[in-house]
Amino acid sequence: MTKKASVTVSHRRLGREFVRKVKELSGQNLQLCYQCGMCTGNCPAAVNMDVSPRRIIELARLGLEEEIAGSKTVWVCASCLACTVNCPRGFDLSKVMEAIRLLALRKNVDRVRPEDVAPEQRCDLPQIAMVSGLRKFTG
Amino acid sequence: MNLAYYPGCTLKTRARNLEEPAVASMEALGLKLDELPRWNCCGAVYSLAEDDLIHKVAPVRNLIRVRKQGASELVTLCAFCLNTLKRANLLMKGDAEKRDTLNDFIDEGIAYRGEVKVVHLLEVLRDEIGWGILAGKVRLPLRQLRLAPYYGCTLLRPREVAIDNPENPTVLGEFLKALGASPVDFPESTRCCGSYQVMNSPDAITEYARPIFNSASSHGAEALVLTCPLCDYNLGRGQRELAKKQGGFKEMPLFYFTQLLALALGLSPHVCHFELNHGSPESLLREKDLLPRVESVQPIGG
Amino acid sequence: MSAKQTKKKSVATAVRQRTKKSTEAVVKEEKKVAARLIPIYIMGKRYEVPEGLTIMKAMEYAGYMLIRGCGCRGGTCGACGTVYRKPGDYKLMVALACQKTVEPDMYIAQIPFFPANRAAYDFAEVSAAPEEVFKLYPELFRCVACNSCTKACPQGIEVMDAVSALKKGDIAQAAQLSFDCIQCGLCTSRCFGELAQYHMFQLARRIYGARIVPRAEHLAEMVKAINQGKYDRCLDELREAGEDELKKLYQEREIEPISAGEDWKPKDTTHL
């Protein structure tokens, strides 16, 4: 389920713009996490993720932007907030997920374009599905 | 007594079977759901970014309109909308700087400070009417119906907007008991249905649905009770796919809690629009003698 | 000189005398009402133009030849959408250049065209279902209800409310709210979600007119009567009548009085 990878940690990566922006956008203190794994255990989407939610926090605070960008975790996340509600440290992982998504979307790049949704789907889906989906996947 | 009511876009089209029985039931209970004369889409999801303001404009504008018409409470039926409106309301209460910027931008003439109370219909039934009184108004107890209350995410998370204990909610179960039904509690009742993932990964929705249905049926549920049109769509679609892929999987009816309310209060089944439901609820209801076995036909000429 | 000529001459003299007397007064009047010149900024460059002109006429006074951003000059074609600002005010204002009179220190830019997304569709295959709009314009759901479109509309349309109606599936309301739309495109130019509001509204109005509004029964009956030849005879008579006859018929025609009731009939009922 989760990828085992060896990563290089350095001062340069730790002090990166990326780490600062994630903290700013999410308003979360990434140092709070003690990697207990409750988030991954409660996540209904974890089975579809290549990098677990727990690991994403670790990658984020180590400034490993490329590893995060190469994973589909934040795009598979359904913002169900099970992680947030169950975290023993009161850390809001849903906000970190959103911050990582926005850092990509705010470059005016859509993850899913409206025209990628099949026409029959556009008629069939309830409006809240389209509204929320476009919010999370378009810039 | 009138309650200011916010429907949300989906209730006007495919989720008529959530709205109409609610409006009829509340009228029967002496509380009229008074739709806001002018409302816009609330945005469905609450933006989770710290610097974001534009996505708060839509829900806040609706709250300002409630305030302007002099109401102090806003009722919603759609759990998705409840979450967004309630979180936006909390922001207006708690963050002075963002509140000022939003009030200034929205420019509707009043400085809104989160004075309106945003509630879900279940909270109104629990806190303003009470289960005892509701039970007293039941004309058709929903006996023999083993119903699994399914909460999903948005009624219970995050903690600051939860209408009940997020880990062990009981409000839907109490509601069903008041209507005479037998609620079947099951472990996956607060597990996410997949939400907006249906837009880009419709096939993944099957995997979200699987543990929910397997858990509900293994605990003896005959049907699920829902509060959100997206859960209804995802679970309805998910179970259709599961029936194709998983041998022995049997689809079950999906009810909206408002349909059961209307039925139990003795209102006409027509107002429930069961034809819009997934999983053939009418055959289950007929089996339990809760719907007439054949449609009664009026002779021509009266 | 004939009587006619004498009359003409004396009238001319009288006019000349009248004119001479009042010329001084007239000259004074003309000096008082000579158009004041006011400064405006067209695309950042300062010009002095007579006040009282519309923006469009002021641009032409300044020497611009308008081959785009100019159309009916009557406020209905939507070609001359203009954005302007006044000093000391951050607010962006909108207007139609052919309708709005210039104000001192106006900073103007025109938006004659905006590359808004327009869906391609065969209208014969479009039904009255609200889902048709969702299918053709899925970006409708990117609306965040920021109200920038309403602020940008020179026709005073409640654009956000009309978009909201579309999201709710209420095609009729969207059609009615957008009735005054002249397709100028200013809404799209300011839209946060990059919606092409005016194209969506046009689709809504087309659906509304062709699929939702009930057909006028009396119109259908009249068309049927015409096709069955009810008016063939009197049309043939007119075709065969000569020029003098036509003139006579025209001059002697009977006009239904404004106050006529439902049961009014003309004197000659042979053609009814």
Between residues C15 and B16, the one the model is more confident about: B16
CB distance from A105 to chain C under 8 Å? no
Cβ-proximal residues to B52 (8 Å cutoff; 6+ apart), any chain: none
Mean pLDDT over residues B83-94, rounded? 97
Name the domain count of chain B.
2
Place of tokens 């900073």: C107
Separation in Å, CA of B50 to nearest CA in chain A: 5
Using the predicted structure, report yes or no on whether residue B93 has a pLDDT greater than 50.
Answer: yes
Q: With an 8 Å Cβ cutoff, are B195 and A130 in contact?
A: no
How many beta-carbon contacts under 8 Å exist across B and C? 37
B163-189 pLDDT, tens digit per residue, is 999 999 999 999 999 999 999 999 999
Using the predicted structure, report yes or no on whether residue C30 has a pLDDT greater than 60.
Answer: no
Identify the band that residue B299 occupies on the pLDDT scale cut at 50, 70 and 90. very low
Q: State percent of chain B over pLDDT 90.
A: 89
R_g over Cα of chain B: 20
In chain A, the residue whose alpha carbon lies closest to the alpha carbon of C139 is A114
Q: Domain for residue B293, yes or no?
A: no
For residue A59, what are the CA distances in angstroms to A35, A63, A79?
Answer: 11, 6, 19
pLDDT value for B1: 86
Q: With an 8 Å Cβ cutoff, are A136 and B207 in contact?
A: no
Contact assessment for residue B281 and residue B291, using Cβ atoms and an 8 Å cutoff: no
Among the candidates C212, C246, C263, a domain finishes at C212
Q: Domain for residue B154, yes or no?
A: yes
In chain A, the residue whose alpha carbon lies closest to the alpha carbon of B51 is A25
Q: Domain for residue C256, yes or no?
A: no
Mean pLDDT over residues A17-30, rounded? 93
- Is residue B283 packed enough to be buried (19+ CB in 10 Å), middle (13-18) or exposed (0-12)? exposed
For residue B140, what are the CA distances in angstroms to A37, B17, B224, B289, C122?
Answer: 47, 19, 19, 10, 51
Q: With an 8 Å Cβ cutoff, are C167 and B9 in contact?
A: yes
Q: State percent of chain A over pLDDT 90.
A: 73
Residue C193 belongs to domain with CATH number: 1.10.1060.10
Neighboring chain B residues of A80 at a CB cutoff of 8 Å? 153, 157, 192, 195
Name the domain count of chain C.
2
Q: With an 8 Å Cβ cutoff, are A129 and B196 in contact?
A: yes
Separation in Å, CA of C134 to nearest CA in chain B: 12
pLDDT value for C267: 86
Identify the band that residue C15 occupies on the pLDDT scale cut at 50, 70 and 90. low
C127 and C95 in a common domain: no
Contact assessment for residue C54 and residue C100, using Cβ atoms and an 8 Å cutoff: yes
Mean pLDDT over residues B247-252, rounded? 90
B243 and B154 in a common domain: yes
pLDDT value for C269: 82
Among the candidates C48, C81, C110, a domain finishes at C110
B102 and B232 in a common domain: no
Q: With an 8 Å Cβ cutoff, are A130 and C135 in contact?
A: no
Q: Domain for residue C141, yes or no?
A: yes
Q: With an 8 Å Cβ cutoff, are B153 and A25 in contact?
A: no
For chain C, what is the mean pLDDT?
90
Residue B237 belongs to domain with CATH number: 3.40.50.11810
Tokens of C100: 């709005």
Can you tell me the distance from the alpha carbon of C185 to that of C123, in angstroms, rounded to the nearest whole number?
A: 22
Q: Identify the CATH assignment for A11-107 out of 3.40.605.10, 1.10.3720.10, 3.40.50.10470, 1.10.1060.10.
A: 1.10.1060.10
C198-237 pLDDT, tens digit per residue, is 999 999 999 999 999 999 999 999 999 999 999 998 899 8
Domain that holds residue B36: 2-121
Mean pLDDT over residues B131-155, rounded? 95
Mean pLDDT over residues A24-29, rounded? 95
CB distance from C145 to chain B under 8 Å? yes
Separation in Å, CA of C214 to nearest CA in chain A: 25
Mean pLDDT over residues C150-154, rounded? 95
- Is residue A54 packed enough to be buried (19+ CB in 10 Å), middle (13-18) or exposed (0-12)? buried
A89-129 pLDDT, tens digit per residue, is 999 999 999 999 999 999 888 999 988 999 999 999 999 99
Enter the ipTM: 0.90
pLDDT value for B296: 47
pLDDT value for C201: 97
Separation in Å, CA of C138 to nearest CA in chain A: 6
B114 and B158 in a common domain: no
Contact assessment for residue C174 and residue C201, using Cβ atoms and an 8 Å cutoff: yes
Q: Count of H helices and E strands in chain B?
A: 12, 8
Can you tell me the distance from the alpha carbon of B194 to that of B135, in angstroms, rounded to the nearest whole number?
A: 34
Mean pLDDT over residues B243-261, rounded? 93
Separation in Å, CA of B72 to nearest CA in chain A: 26
Between residues A16 and C172, the one the model is more confident about: C172
Can you tell me the distance from the alpha carbon of C52 to that of C76, in angstroms, rounded to the nearest whole number?
A: 21
For chain A, what is the mean pLDDT?
90
Residues making up chain A, counted from first to last: 139
Identify the band that residue C29 occupies on the pLDDT scale cut at 50, 70 and 90. low
Between residues B22 and A5, the one the model is more confident about: B22
pLDDT value for C34: 73
pLDDT value for C10: 62
Q: With an 8 Å Cβ cutoff, are B207 and A48 in contact?
A: yes
Domain that holds residue C81: 37-110
pLDDT value for C250: 92
Which residues 218-257 of C are in CB contact (within 8 Å) with B?
A: none
B138 and B114 in a common domain: no
Q: Domain for residue C254, yes or no?
A: no
Q: Domain for residue C100, yes or no?
A: yes
Residue B107 belongs to domain with CATH number: 1.20.1050.140
Lowest mean pLDDT among B83-87, C246-250, C260-264: C260-264
C105 and C127 in a common domain: no
Among the candidates B121, B154, B177, a domain finishes at B121
Residue C83 belongs to domain with CATH number: 3.10.20.740
In chain B, the residue whose alpha carbon lies closest to the alpha carbon of C162 is B40
pLDDT value for A10: 78
Q: Domain for residue C148, yes or no?
A: yes
Can you tell me the distance from the alpha carbon of B105 to that of B94, in angstroms, rounded to the nearest whole number?
A: 18
Among the candidates C212, C230, C255, a domain finishes at C212
Among the candidates B121, B143, B160, a domain finishes at B121
The whole-model pTM stands at: 0.85
Can you tell me the distance from the alpha carbon of A106 to that of C91, in angstroms, rounded to the nearest whole number?
A: 25
Q: Domain for residue B297, yes or no?
A: no
B219-234 pLDDT, tens digit per residue, is 999 999 999 999 999 9
pLDDT value for A3: 55
pLDDT value for A8: 74
- Range(s) within chain A of domains with CATH label 1.10.1060.10: 11-107
Lowest mean pLDDT among B115-119, C25-29, C179-183, C251-255: C25-29
Q: Domain for residue B298, yes or no?
A: no
Lowest mean pLDDT among B46-60, B122-136, C253-267: C253-267
Among the candidates B121, B149, B184, a domain finishes at B121
pLDDT value for C134: 95
B110 and B233 in a common domain: no
Q: With an 8 Å Cβ cutoff, are B233 and A129 in contact?
A: yes
DSSP class of C46: E
C88 and C56 in a common domain: yes
